[in-house]
Structure 1
Amino acid sequence: MPLHIRDATAEDEHQIIALWHSCGLVAPHNDPGADFRFAVAGPASTVLVALADDRIVASAMVGHDGHRGWLYYVACAPGRRHERLGSRIVAAGEEWLRFQGVAKVQLMIRPANAAVVPFYQQLGYEDMPRVLMSKWLNG
């Protein structure tokens, strides 16, 4: 299947957010529009999109802190699963990070989305035992 992967533009925002919603990736405490605009505007981040027939069929938000890279909002159109779109958009995110000089990529999986763990394992990702802590600064 012909697939074109590129950086997202402002015009892609609504279609990408709809994809994220259709994949169950949006949490009530996150504003996906703000997340999208922040990533697209940042020098150390982007949102990659995969297009087939001029439609966005997959996406991945990619960013780094200069040492570690992160993948967020990895999404594949539900009706297009099992076409290797997910592995291709993850590979594009990894390549984007390599080009930035980042040697390590990480991602977090919410317990409600644990069914994707085998997908990431087949791509070479491993569980990374760590204590993850957070603090809300707004509220």
Structure 2
Amino acid sequence: MVEPSSAGRSGEKWAVRAFDRADTESVVALWTEAGLVRPWNDPKLDIERKLTVQPELFLVVEDDEARSTSERIIGTVMAGYDGHRGWLYYVATARSHRHQGIARSLVREAERLLLDMGCPKVQLMVREGNEGALGFYDDLGYERFSVSNTGRRLIVDA
């Protein structure tokens, strides 16, 4: 477990830690609530794939006082490093815990782990129209780029 890396505005402490398989249902519920799940990406398959490549870069924050197991995970980030640059995916915070610094702590811990691997740069993609997310990354010092993304599915999930 990573040492608690931040405190919320109300003085709460939380620990950023590596994902555990037991977190799967709670993580999928969080991603669904946060609007990150898409019909063409099976979130459970995304988790399984991540666990085969740099699983130590899949981080969560847990709420020890959650009312149910499906609400236990309140923050996530999935990172990766390909030898050229790092990437961040699935950055999410539960609506009930937003604006407390959880996402900031997750991103900073992912950046620290990437830097420890020798990663010189980190990037991420934000869907058009998600101004709240863009503002969050602006505040963290991320630079906006004018690029076009292209992609091609090699394995169809759905």
Q: Same fold (TM over 0.5)?
A: yes
RMSD: 1.7
Aligned residue in 1 for 2:86: 69
Query: What is the rounded CA distance, in whole Å, between the counterparts of 1:63 and 1:51 in structure 2?
Result: 21
Identity of aligned residues (%): 37
1:6-60 residue CA offsets vs partner (Å, 9 max, x unmatched): 1101111111111000100111111111111111221376310012326321000
The unaligned stretches of length 5 or more in structure 2 are: 1-11, 66-71
Query: What is the rounded CA distance, in whole Å, between the counterparts of 2:19 and 2:155 in structure 1?
Result: 28
Aligned residues: 139
Flag the structure with higher strand content. Answer: 1
Match of 1:47 among 50, 55, 58: 58
Aligned residue in 1 for 2:40: 29
1:32-89 residue CA offsets vs partner (Å, 9 max, x unmatched): 1111111122137631001232632100011111111000000001111111111111
Report matched runs for 1:78-93 at 5 Å: 78-93=95-110
Q: CA deviation at 1:135?
A: 2.1
Q: CA deviation at 1:131?
A: 2.5
Asked if residue 124 in structure 1 is aligned to residue 141 in structure 2, the reply is yes
> Secondary structure in 1 aligned to 2:45?
helix
Asked if residue 6 in structure 1 is aligned to residue 17 in structure 2, the reply is yes
Query: What is the rounded CA distance, in whole Å, between the counterparts of 1:10 and 1:138 in structure 2?
Result: 23
Mapped contact 2:57–2:110 kept (Cα < 8 A)? no
> Secondary structure in 2 aligned to 1:88?
helix
> Secondary structure in 1 aligned to 2:110?
helix
Q: More relative contact order in 1 or in 2 (CA 8 Å, sep 6+)?
A: 2
Aligned residue in 1 for 2:6: none
> Secondary structure in 2 aligned to 1:28?
coil
Q: CA deviation at 1:138?
A: 4.4
Q: CA deviation at 1:102?
A: 0.6
Match of 1:107 among 120, 124, 138: 124
TM-score by length of 1: 0.91
Query: What is the rounded CA distance, in whole Å, between the counterparts of 2:151 and 2:133 in structure 1?
Result: 23
